[in-house]
Every structure is written in C-alpha cells, then in structure tokens.
Amino acid sequence: MRNSFVGLDIGYDSIKVIELKRDKAGLVATNCVIEPIEYDDVKNYSEEKVAEAIARALKNPSIKGSSVVVSLSGQSVFTRFIKFPTLDRSKIDQIVQFEAQQQVPFPIDDVIWDYQLLGDWATIDDIDEASVALVASKKEVITGLLENFESLKMDIEYIDIAPFALCNCIKFNEPALDGCTLVLDIGAKSTDMLVMEKDTVWLRNIPIGGIAMTQAVQKEFKVTFKEAEFLKKKYSVILCGDGPMVGESPERLRISRALTATMTRLLAEISRSIGYYRSHSEGGRIKQIVLVGGGSNIENIGTFLEHKFNVGVKKLDTMHNLEYRNGMAEFIAKKNTCLDVLLD
Ligand SMILES: Nc1ncnc2c1ncn2[C@@H]1O[C@H](COP(=O)(O)OP(=O)(O)OP(=O)(O)O)[C@@H](O)[C@H]1O
Ligand SMILES: [Mg+2]
C-alpha cells in the first residue's frame, strides 16, 4: 500500500497543496502550501494565472511527490443524485448512461462523466433502490488541467470534486457528528452546501461566496475590488444580536451591513435548497451546521447562522484525527484556515 500522497485543491482564490504520509501513528500531514491566484478584480481573472499558481505551489521544495490527487471546485462540475429501482448490476451502466444523456446540461460528447454507486455494493441486490452520484465536467476543463500537469511533469492519480472530498474529510475528522448535518463551504466564487445524513450526501453549489461579499463592500465604500478585499478581511464582521451597536467603529458597521446583505441572499438560497432536499429526498431536519472555507473566518458568522437556523454551528476541526508535523499546525492556525478538501 502507498504511504505518501499529495493532494491539490484548485480553488478560485488559491491553490492549496497538502502532503500526507501514513505511518504507524495513523495519517500525518507533513507539509502544506497555500498559493494565492493573482487577480485584482474578477474582470481580469485568467486561467494563465491559475496555471502559474499551480506551478508555484507544486514547485515548492517542501512538496516532494511526483503524482497528485486533484480536487476540482464544485462550480466546475455538474453533479446529480439519481435513484432507480435496482436491476441487475450489468444494467446499471446502461441506465446511468441514459440518465447522463438526459440530465447533463451540455452535449454528452463535450463532457467527461462518471458515476459512483452510493451505499454498499455487497448488499445492492437486497435493497429496493439504487442510488447513484453522477458527475460531469466539460472536456475543456479536464484537458486544460491535464496539459498543466504535463508541463510540470507530474501525474494526476485521480480527479475528485471538492464537495465529495470535503464529505470524506468530515467523516474522517468528525466521526462523532450525528444526525442530519448541513455543511457550508463558503469559498470565493461560490458556496458548496452539503447535507449529510446517515450514509448519504446531497449537494448544491450556490454562486454566492467571498467575491460577492467583496463586491458588496466595493459598492458600500466606492473603492476598487482590491481595496474592498482588503477592507473586508480587515474588518470582517457580521454584527448581530439584539442590542444597539454601541462602540462599534463606522467601518465595522459598514462592513457588517455589506456582509449581512450578501449572507442574507446566500441564506435564502440555502433555505430554498433545504426545502427542496427535504421534499425530494425525504430528508430529516437539519440538526447542526459545520462551516468551512475562507468565508467562515468572518467574525460572528456562526452566531448569525445560529439565529437564522436555530441549530448549533461549529467550524470543522481538522486537528482531531490528523497529526501535523513541520510546524503545520501553527501555519494552519496562523492562516486561520483548514485544508479541508484535501483529505480524501
Ligand atoms: N477573514 C476573512 N473574512 C472574510 N472573508 C475572508 C476572510 N479570509 C478569507 N476570506 C475570503 O474567503 C475566500 C477564499 O476562501 P477559500 O480559500 O475557501 O476559497 P477557494 O477554495 O479558493 O474558492 P472556491 O471554493 O470558490 O473555488 C475569499 O473570497 C476571501 O476573501
Ligand atoms: Mg474552495
């Protein structure tokens, strides 16, 4: 069995790389690199800048492997969960092929798609319904990715998608989580919402995240995107609660106003999606919320969500089951981030 892996998360805002080793103590994180993608504004965001950031991250001397597991952002892929009466296994391929042609919103020849049967293959004949996760990505996204790695002389072991990797990461790090859990990965371009319940997961990518918050700050302060990004991170707060905002600086009040407006739009989408999930999947009530992603660093975001959903909110704790070496724990604490999606 291999005992060393490199995982690479291609986010919209940054490239995150983690090197993991398996030793007697269990899984150990030996190195990590976070490489920002350079852009002053979404208007001049480019694939070249993404490729440069990937190259910088992987050429970092601390990362030694020659093959990587790549996770793609939820917004670069199309996912659907399909259920159908279980037939014999040899027919499943055919059925999913038919479903892919029906459901993928692009010509099927222009995408690369695959599926995973959810649940336990061993008992599939004993249950009434097969449940399948279908994933598709435009061919140009995958070929662009492969070209990048060819020039870096690195092999891609396999490509995963961030929300599925996050789901595995949560199961690994938070095995005690019980009941229907809403996971929110508030990234830059979008927010991945996952509803995890028993052995199933349901997900949706919502195109509202840190960029939309920066744009709201930009509008509030009438500054450039870059200046707004700086102000957002400096004052990063959602003021909530019942009391008057006595003693708050004007900047914090204005940032809070901009972030609250964006979060309210995001929450409307999340509530709508939960309603859809519950009516279509006969899902249970959300018992708790787990937060991940750069947007989860906003001061008070947990309290804000607690008020709205009336359930407990916590940040994902990746320090539980994973040992960190080479000062990584301090690095992660300093960056106030967790390398959530890489522990696949
Ligand atoms: N302290 C903070 N307050 C508010 N926003 C923050 C803070 N720190 C980071 N962010 C925002 O988080 C976002 C980046 O988060 P993350 O690294 O999870 O995104 P990503 O994975 O690169 O993007 P995506 O998931 O959309 O592909 C940026 O928009 C950034 O401005
Ligand atoms: Mg992300």
Note the pLDDT tens digit of each residue in 63-98: 887 788 999 888 889 998 888 886 667 788 888 999
Q: Which residue from 8, 13, 16, 42 has its CB within 8 A of the most atoms of ligand 1, so it is best to mutate?
A: 13
Tens digit of pLDDT for each residue in 238-266? Answer: 998 665 577 889 999 999 999 999 999 99
Continuous H helices in the chain: 47-59, 89-103, 139-151, 162-173, 210-221, 225-235, 250-281, 301-309, 328-335
Does the pTM exceed 0.95?
Answer: no
Neighbours of ion ligand 2 (CB under 5 A): 11, 187
Domain boundaries, the chain: 4-76+141-175+318-342, 78-136, 210-313
Q: Which fold has domain 78-136?
A: Dna Ligase; domain 1 (3.30.1490)
Mean pLDDT, range 42-54, rounded to an integer: 93
Phi, psi (5° rounding) for residue 263? -65, -35
Same fold, 78-136 and 210-313: no
Cβ contact 71:342 at 8 Å: yes
Residue 167 parent element (H or E): helix 162-173
Cβ–ligand 1 distance for 225 under 6 Å, the answer no
pLDDT band at 51 (very low <50, low <70, confident <90, very high): very high
- Which ligand has the minimum distance to the alpha carbon of residue 234? 1
Looking at residue 341, what is its pLDDT? 43
Q: Helix-strand-coil percent breakdown of the chain, rounded to 5? A: 45, 30, 30
CA distances for 154 relative to 2, 4, 64, angstroms: 17, 15, 11
Quick one: pLDDT band at residue 326, thresholds 50, 70, 90? low
pLDDT band at residue 198, thresholds of 50, 70 and 90? confident
3-class DSSP assignment, residue 188: coil
Contact 8 CB / ligand 1 (< 6 Å): no
For the chain, the average pLDDT equals: 86
* Predicted local distance difference test score (pLDDT) of residue 22: 82
Measured from the Cβ of residue 246, the count of other Cβ atoms closer than 10 Å reads: 5
- Fold classification of 210-313 is Nucleotidyltransferase; domain 5 (3.30.420)
pLDDT at 338: 47
Nearest atom in ligand 1 to the alpha carbon of residue 13 is 22
**Within 10 A of 146 (CB to CB), how many other CB atoms are there?**
12
pLDDT-derived band at 150 (thresholds 50, 70, 90) equals confident
Residue with tokens 């499943």: 92
Q: Which homologous superfamily is 4-76+141-175+318-342 in?
A: ATPase, nucleotide binding domain (3.30.420.40)
**CB of 113 shorter than 6 A to ligand 1:** no
What is the 301 CA–ligand 1 centroid distance (Å)?
Answer: 14
Phi, psi of 192 (to 5 degrees): -90, 125
